[in-house]
Amino acid sequence: MRFKMPCKKNPIVVLTVLILGLLISCLPVALAADVEPQIDTALFWSIQKSGQTAGYLLGTIHSEDPRVLDFSDDLLDKLRENQVFAMELVPDSYMLERLNGYMNYPPGQRLESVIGAERYHKLEKALSAYRVQTGIIERMKPWAAMMTLSTPPPETGFFMDLSLSLRASGSGLEVMGLESLEEQLSFLENMPMTMQLALLDQAIDESDQVDKVHDQMVDAYLENNLVVLQVLSDEQLEAVSREAGDYFIEYGIHDRNQRMAETLLHQLENKTVFAAVGALHLPGEEGLLNILRQHGYELSPQEMPLRRVPDDQP
């Protein structure tokens, strides 16, 4: 069954969601001829093997919206039960420094010479709300500029994944990354320049819609239902070129799923693990849920609130 949700399409925001692993894949699950479809709807799952709990898997959204940071006591209790907290990348100062290096051209090379003067001046105007200094814009790579424009200007920098990692560390869990920075960024670094420029043009043209679309995504996430997120992703991706969509799905989702699964499976052999990854990495034939099942793990949806219910709500 397909549902429809009214929303204004913004392909650039969706592609950033795919880059950061925030929503879900637009691909349906491939099924054997006479097997009933398995529709995974939950964002939070327990991982079991031979009747024993091996850990948990949580689909996250890269947002600093206070609503996604107000974790329920039940969720935090589940987090503390484990020995390891696994996330896509550990956002420590060393990683952030290296990320900054990847996002910028080396001294002597300027963005304007790559994208042209007219496009560069439009970019400067679009980035004015982000308070990015001119000297920094001059060195940004096209994909980095596109990503910057595709999310609302940060206010606190305290995103969901970061908040969970700090809580895990404070509870004595080992915090680790499921992939390296180089692995995660390789598909951006290798993206054809013509595709980068086309996506950058869309990001500039639609920069005034970012806040609205981001709020729609958070609202969908708070429904705690992968099917709702699936519909939103499907409708948004209709506005993206087939070439760009295929590129992101193959290299930004499926390839990364395999790498992260390999690391997660290794950890699950000897330790209990609470894994938190962008929700797009969970569903589908090549999603983490299915990969874990193929390796003998049983996945059970945790039908519990991910955030605290306000006192004024029943």
pLDDT band at 37 (very low <50, low <70, confident <90, very high): very low
pLDDT of residue 234: 67
pLDDT in tens, 227-269: 777 777 766 666 668 898 888 889 998 999 999 999 999 999 9
Backbone angles phi, psi at 84, to 5 degrees: -130, 140
Segment 85-109 shows an average pLDDT of 93
| pLDDT range class, residue 131, cuts 50, 70, 90 | confident
User: Who wins on pLDDT, 298 or 303?
Assistant: 298
Q: Which residue has the higher pLDDT, 160 or 248?
A: 160
Query: Given this model, what pLDDT does residue 113 score?
Result: 97
Residues 193-212 pLDDT 10s: 999 999 999 889 989 988 98
More confident: 12 or 6:
12
> How high is the pLDDT of residue 313?
52
CA distances from residue 308 to 81, 235, 243, 289, 303 in whole angstroms, order as listed? 19, 30, 41, 26, 14
Tell me what the pLDDT averaged over the chain comes to. Answer: 85
Q: How far is CA 27 from CA 44, 58, 59, 289, in A?
A: 20, 20, 17, 14
Contact 223, 59 (CB under 8 A): no
Q: What's the pLDDT band for 29 if we cut at 50, 70, 90?
A: very low
Residue 311 predicted with pLDDT over 60 = no
Residue 284: band (very low, low, confident or very high) from pLDDT cuts 50, 70, 90: confident
pLDDT the model gives residue 274: 98
